[in-house]
Amino acid sequence: MYLRQVYATKHPAISFEIFPPKGNYPINQLLEQLEIFSQLKPDYISVTYGAGGSTKDKTIKIAGMIKENFQIEPLAHLTCITSTKDQIHSIISDLSNHDIENVLALRGDIPTDPNFVFPTPLHFEFASDLIRELRKERKFCIGAAFYPEGHIEAPNREIDFKNVAYKAKQGTDFLISQMFFDNAYFIKSVKKLREMGVNQPISAGIMPITNIKQIQRIADLCGATFPPNLLKELKTRADNPKHVEDFGIQYATDQIADLLNSGVEGIHIYTMNKPRIAEKIIQNIRNLR
Ligand code: FAD
C-alpha cells in the first residue's frame, strides 16, 4: 500500500524507524524485535540505508521481511550521492522484486574520505535528483527528509526550506523530519513550509533519549538543539541509567502529546531498534490519539 493512502486515512500516522544489523550480523537477528514492533501496530516501519549504500541488500531484504512476515507496510530508505545511474536502477529493480512500494529518497551524507571519487557524471547531487528519477518509474510512493532547524550544511534555514519546497515539488508524497527536542522548531518550520506551498503530510521525527552519551553524538550528527531544561534534567540523572531512560521516555511522550495537540499528521519514532522503549511510548500516548 502506498503511504500516501496511509496519511490520507490515519491521523496521525505512527511509524517506527529501524536500522539493519551492523557488520556481518544476519538480518534474522532483527526478527525478535520486529515481532514486538509489529504488535504495536505502527502504520509503517522504515529501514535505514547505511552510508554509501553499505547496507543496501540488508535494507531491502528487511523491508521485504517486514511486509511478508508481519504484514506491515515498509518504507525503504535510499541514498544517492555515491551512486551511478546504473546502480540506482539496479536498486530500483531490487525494490520492485521485493514488492517495496515506498521509498524515502535521500541524498545521503557527503563521504568524509578525501580520496572518495564521486561518480561521473554526478547524476544524483541532491535528493531532488533521485526523487525525479524514482518518479519516472511511476510505481513508488516517495518520501523525503526535512530539517526543522535547517540542514547542517545549509547557509541558513530560509535557503534550506526553499530547497525542501523544491524537492517537494519534484514528486514527494510526504516528508519526515529530522529529530528535534524543542517542538517550537517543528511547529514554526511546518507553518513556514505551508506558506511556501508545501502541502504534503509531514511526520515529526521523535528520538527518545535513553542514554547520556547519545546526546553528543546526536548534536554532532545533526545539530539538533537541546533545550537547557532537558540537559539539566538529564545531567541530574547521569549516575542512574534507568532514571535517564525513564526521563527520556517521558520527555518524548510529552513532546508527542504537545504535537498531537497542534494537529501533527505523523509521528515517526527513531527506535534505535529498541522495541521496549517504543512500546512504553505507544502505551503512554494511547489515550491521546
Ligand atoms: P538534500 O535534500 O539533497 O539536501 C542536502 C543539502 O543540499 C541541504 O543543505 C539542502 O539545503 C541543499 N540542497 C538541496 N537541494 C539543493 C539545490 N537544488 N541546490 C543547492 N542546494 C541544495 N542518511 C543515510 O545515510 N541513511 C539513511 O537511511 C538516512 N535516513 C534519514 C531519514 C531521515 C528522516 C532524515 C531526516 C535523514 C536521514 N539521513 C539518512 C540523513 C541524510 O542522508 C543527510 O541528512 C544528508 O546530509 C542530506 O540528505 P537529504 O536527502 O536531506 O539531502
**pLDDT value, residue 218:** 84
Where are the alpha helices (H) located in the chain, listed in sequence order? Answer: 3-9, 31-39, 56-70, 85-97, 127-137, 157-169, 183-195, 212-222, 228-236, 241-261, 275-285
Residue 204: name the closest of 224, 233, 232, 230 by CA.
224
Distance 12 CA to ligand 1 centre (A): 24
Question: What is residue 54's predicted lDDT score, i.e. its pLDDT?
Answer: 82
User: For residue 222, what pLDDT is reported?
Assistant: 86
Task: Flag residues of the chain having pLDDT under 70.
Answer: none
Q: Which one from 17, 73, 101, 245 is the annotated catalytic residue?
A: 17
Q: What are the tens digits of pLDDT across the range 80-128?
A: 999 999 999 999 999 999 999 999 999 999 999 999 999 999 999 999 9
Q: Print the domain residue range for 273.
A: 3-288
Count up the domains in the chain and report the number: 1
Ligand 1 atom closest to Cα of residue 78? 28
Cα(211)–Cα(126) distance, integer angstroms: 33
Position 288 scores a pLDDT of 79
Q: Which of 163, 170, 174 for a ligand 1 pocket mutation test, highest count of atoms within 8 Å of Cβ?
A: 163
Check residue 149 and give its pLDDT: 97
Closest approach atom of ligand 1 to CA 127: 3
CA nearest neighbour of 208 among 264, 257, 269, 147: 269
Tell me, what's the pLDDT at 5? 98
Q: How far apart are CA 277 and CA 256, in angstroms?
A: 14
- Beta pairing partners, 46: 17, 75
**Annotated catalytic, 125?**
no
At residue 51, the pLDDT reads 83
> CATH number for the domain including 249?
3.20.20.220
Q: CA 127 → CA 3, 53, 82, 136, 142, distances in Å?
A: 19, 15, 12, 15, 11
pTM exceeds 0.95, yes or no:
yes
